[in-house]
A and B are shown apart, each in its own frame.
Chain A
C-alpha cells in the first residue's frame, strides 16, 4: 500500500476538525504551490540561493501545517540543499514536486467527496 501523502489525523487535529477549513487550506496550497515552484525554478536558473532558501522555507512551513508529508519532506531537502549550495541537485528535486502535487490534488478531491458522503 502506498504511503498516504497527508497525515489526515494530524491536520484535522490542527484545524480542530473543521473540515471546510481543511479543504480550503488544501485549495490555497494547491493554487499557491505551482506559482512557488515556478518561482523556485527561475531562482535556480539565476542561482539565487537566498531566494531558493526563502521559498523552500516558506513552503516547508505551509506544507507542514497541512501535514502534506511528502511535499514537506521535499521542501525540507530543498531548503537544506540551498543552505549547502547544491543548486544542481535542487533542480532534480523540484521535478519530484509536480507528481507529489498531483497526488495531493487527487487526495484533496477524494477527501472532499468523502466529506460530502
Chain B
C-alpha cells in the first residue's frame, strides 16, 4: 500500500521535473551505450559492428524514453494536456462554429440552471424555518376558502391534542395598508399581520433586535406594540440600531417597537406571495377574537417522532368532538398538510412542466450540436485515417473528440451561469409575480454543481456519436481521394438525418405544449370576469380618526363622492371595502323564514359598497336597482345579491322584495351578475352587497373611479379635487383594477412566457439543423445534380425535389412528435383552462408551423443547388 502511495507521490513530483529527468535518462543511456560498445570492441568486433550490436542490445531508445516518461510521471495528465492543447488549436481554426456552439449551449444550460434553481427553491429546499419538515399547515374544510379556523377551536385543539409541540396562528384577514404611519417624514400606509404570541417561536425564528411579544401585549387591549420587518427597518428607518423601544404613530395611536425581524425571515414570500408585509402586531386569542369567526390560519410543529398521518387521525376525531361540545361555534374539519406542500403545491405541476420542457430543449441542443460535430468530423476523416495509420489508438482518438465536445460544453456552462444569473436577477425583481419564495432564488453551490453536471453530460452526449465515427477499419477508403457514395458516408447521412428528425420531434412536443398553455392563457384572459377592469383606477380613502361616528363618516362619504363625481374626466365613482381578486370574507346568510340543516347553511362573499360602485366596476344589474344615497341608517335596511345567491335562497322565485336575516332583516332590492373574485379561473359563488352607509362592519375603504384621464394626470387631478376635505392622499397609491387582474394571472403568464421562449429557441435550432443537413446532402450530390441539370432538369423541378426531401424529413419528425404528444399532454391537464389535452387547434397549428419552417430552411440550399453550374459540377469529384 505504501508502495503505491510512494509511487503516486513520486509520479507527481516527476511530472513537474520532466526536462530534468529526460536529460538524466539521456546521459545514462549514453553512458550505457558507450560501455556496451567498449565491451563489444573488447570482444573483438570492429568499431561500426560494435556500435550496431550495442544499439540493438540497448533497444529502441525513442520508445524507451516514452515508456520511461509513462512509468515515472502522470501519463493521464500528459495526454489530457495534449488533448486540450490540440482542442484549442482546432477550435481556433473553426471559430465560427465554436462561438455558435458555445452560445447555443450557454442558452440551453443557462435556462436549465435557472429552472433548476426555481425548482430547487420551491420544491426541493426546505422552507427557511428551523426544522421546516416538522411544520404542518392546519386547514379547515368547513371554512371558506378552507384555510381558517375559529379562535375558540384553535385554543381547544391546542389543549387537547397530543401530536403537536405547539400550535401558532396568524390573523388571515388582515387588511393591506390599513396602518397609517404618521410622524417625522412622509406619511405612509403599512400592512400589519397580527400573529399569536408563540408564532415566531413555532417557526424557530429569533428577532434580530429586541424581542417577541410578551403575554400582556397579546392580551386584548394590552399595551400597543409592533415588531418591524427587516425590509421596513432598512427602508423606512435606515437600519436604525436603536429602533427598539421607540414609539411610532400608527392610526393616531402611539405604538412601541419591541423588535426587528432578521432579513432571512420573509413572511410575505412564504404566506402571501406577491405582497408586502411591514409590521407584525399581536393577535390575542380571546373571546373577542373568537367572535370574529374563522379567522386564524394555524401552523403547528409536530412532536419529535409524531407523524402527520397520526396527527390527521387524531384531529379527525377532535374536530367533531369540539363541535359537539360547542355547537354554537363554526364547525372544524381539520385538514393537515406539510407546510412546504401548502406553500408550493399550487405551482408543483407548472414547475414540473417547465423542468421537462427545459430538459427537452437540452436534448434538442445536444442533437443539433452532435449533428454539427458529425459534419465537422466528416471533413476530418482523412486526418483521422492518417493518425490511425501512424499508430494512434482508436481509444485515443475517441478521447480527443470527447475532449473537444467537453471543452465546448464547459465554455457553454460558463456562459450558461452568466445567463442564469441574469435570469435570477430579473425574476427576483419581478414582484408582479405572486410566486412564493421567489425572493429566496439564488445561484448557490447546488445550482453550480448541477450546471457542471449538465455541462459534462451534454459534452459527452454531443461527442459520443461523432467520436464513435472514428474509423476502426476501412482506413483505405478514407485515404482515397473520392469517397463519395461509400457505405460509410451513406451511414453518415442517415445518422445526421435521424438526428434532425429527433430534433423536429422534440420541437413539435414543445410547440404543442406551448400552444396548449398559450391558448389556455388566452382563454383565461378572455374569461368574463363579471366586471370591466379597463379604465378603472382605485385608491385607499379611509376616513381618519376624526370621523368617529357613523353620521360623520357617512357625511364624509357623501362629500368624497360628490367631489370626485364632479371632476371632469371621471365617468363614475364608488366605494368598496374589498376589491375583486384582492381579498375575501364570507358570512352565513339566511332567507327569512327558511330553515337549513347544519351542513347546508348558505354562505356568501360580502362586499360593503356605496352607490355607484356597481356602475363603476361595470357589474351588470340584472333586476331591481343599485343603492342610492338615500339608503341611509334611517331608511329601510337593504341588500343586493348576485344571481347565484338568489337562486340558492329563492329558487324559482323573484328575489326582489325578499328578506334576509342579516342585521335584523334586510330587503333585497337588486340582483347583479356574478364577479370572479377568488381567481380568474373560478366562478363567483354566492355574493352579497351591503350599503356602506348602513353598516360599520368594514376595515378599509377603496375609492374606485372609471375615468378617461391618463395614468399620469389622474393622481394630481384627484388630489386637487378632494383638497377641501384635507385628506392626506399622499400616503396612498393609485392603482388600476387591471393591475389586480394581471397579478392574479401572473403565475400562468410566467409559465406561458417561459414555454414560448423555449419553443421559439427549439424551433430555431430545428430549422438550423434542417438547413445544415440539407445543405450537406446537396453538397454530397453535386455531381448527380450536375448530371441532371445537364440532362435538362429545370431549376424549378430541382428545387421542388429538394424541398420535398426536406418535408419528408420534417413530416417524419412531426408524426413522431405528435404521437408522443398525444400521450403526454394528459399530464398537462391540471394547467389547462378551456382547452382539452388534445386540442386540435394546437396540434394543427404546430404541424403547420413546423412544416412551413422546414420548407423555409430547405429553400436556401435548394436555391443554391439550382444555381450550380452543371459543367463545374460534372468536373468536381
Chains A and B are bound partners: no
A residues lining the B interface (CB < 8 Å): none
B residues lining the A interface (CB < 8 Å): none
